[in-house]
Amino acid sequence: MAKPRSFKSALDDAAKHQYPLSILLGNGFSRAFSNEFGYETLRSVAKMPDLTVSKDKLFQQAGTDDFETVMRNLQQSADLLKLYEPHNTALGRALRADALVVRDGLVETLIAIHPPAAQKIEDEKYQAARKFLSPFKRIFTINYDLLLYWTVLRRYLSPPSVVVKDGFGRTGQGSLTWSQPSRADEQEIFYLHGAMHLYVEDHRLRKIQVPRGQMVERLRSNLEAGRYPLVVTEGSSLDKQLRIERSAYLTYCRKRLARSAGALFIHGMAMSDNDHHILDAITRSRIEAIYIGLHGCPSVACATIRAKAQELARNRKAKGGRTLRVQFYDSGTASVWG
């Protein structure tokens, strides 16, 4: 099996073909900043006292540290129980309630492990991340955390050319509110699964903005006040898609991915079944080449991602779409955070 090329070599190859460049960020982007953003750490830190069973036993039974898989298992169990024992409504309610506890636990844990403010991250790390992001004209992400948001706002750092338009603007009351852009170039950053700093108020999507970067403190106060962030934490791809369809913002972001052209770099994403709706949008797009970051090869995870990528290209061809070039690069050579 061919060794993945370097990140620079992948960029050079895309430049040779004169592709316009976009990037799709997965959990690997955040995990490269700190391993605390890895699922196993999130699981160990998470406090979910309202679960009807032990947190550790629940995750051990699922055989994973992935919160979304655990939520999916609970929801599927509730669905099966309704089929086999329709009168056992109490247990069905308990299973669905536990799924919500796991969902809330994920967001609360992400808040707990974050640096308390953007200023607590060294400028050198932001500069490295900005260098990594600077070649791309559009940034798509499935991460909820604040790291991308904080990075693109550090415009006083070099390189200065990182895209910054996220579609939010000030309303008459001064709130940062999203409106669907009238032109494609009015939005360059797309949170495909929402983000912790986005929330709905008065049927409008707002973005938190606080002085001196005390974002995490504001997130905690929002949770205490019952203002839950707009995040897609459903377990299965179908449930994620249904959640996306209930939000004009999320629907627009997914459509923009499906309308993309040129080359798409996929960095730090496992391409799991949970994200089939994302892969389907890529299949339907006009993207001509995908460059996929691999970490820790050779491994089962690398082999799985390679197989998923080739399957994506085959699905495109089977549906009569244009040929999709599939290339791989070593994620470590990107030096995302320096």
Can you spell out the DSSP letters for 160-174? TT----BSEEE-TTS
Residue 1 forms part of a structural domain: no
CA separation for the pair 216, 194 (Å, rounded) = 16
The 8 Å CB, 24+ separation contacts for 254-257 are 254/192, 254/278, 254/281, 256/138, 256/140, 256/184, 256/187, 256/190, 257/24, 257/140, 257/190, 257/192, 257/281, 257/282, 257/285
Q: How many domains does the structure of the chain reveal?
A: 2
pLDDT higher than threshold 70 for residue 52: yes
What's residue 116's pLDDT? 81
75 and 143 housed in the same domain:
no
pLDDT tens digits for range 178-235: 999 999 899 999 999 999 899 888 888 999 877 665 777 788 777 777 778 888 877 6
94 and 136 housed in the same domain:
no
Structure tokens at 73: 């298992």
238 and 305 housed in the same domain:
yes
Question: Across all residues in the chain, what is the average pLDDT?
Answer: 89
Beta bridge partners of 25: 141, 267
Q: What is the pTM of this model?
A: 0.87
Residue 2 forms part of a structural domain: no
174 and 293 housed in the same domain:
yes
Residue type at position 55: K
Q: What is the mean pLDDT of residues 135-144?
A: 96
69 and 172 housed in the same domain:
no
103 and 184 housed in the same domain:
no
pLDDT tens digits for range 272-329: 888 899 999 999 999 999 999 999 888 888 999 999 999 999 999 998 888 999 999 9
What's residue 211's pLDDT? 62
Contacts of 136 (CB under 8 A, 6+ apart): 21, 22, 23, 163, 265
What's residue 189's pLDDT? 98
What's residue 172's pLDDT? 65
What's residue 319's pLDDT? 87
Beta bridge partners of 22: 138, 264
Q: Of 113, 130, 147, which residue constitutes the final position of a domain?
A: 113
74 and 180 housed in the same domain:
no
Do residues 179 and 167 lie in contact, with contact meaning Cβ atoms separated by under 8 Å? yes
Where in the sequence is the domain holding 51, given as residue range(s)? 39-113
85 and 28 housed in the same domain:
no
Strands (E), 20-102: 21-25
30 and 149 housed in the same domain:
yes
CB atoms within 10 A of CB 302: 17
CA separation for the pair 292, 96 (Å, rounded) = 35
Query: 124: buried, middle or exposed (CB in 10 Å: 19+, 13-18, 0-12)?
Result: exposed
106 and 129 housed in the same domain:
no
278 and 224 housed in the same domain:
yes
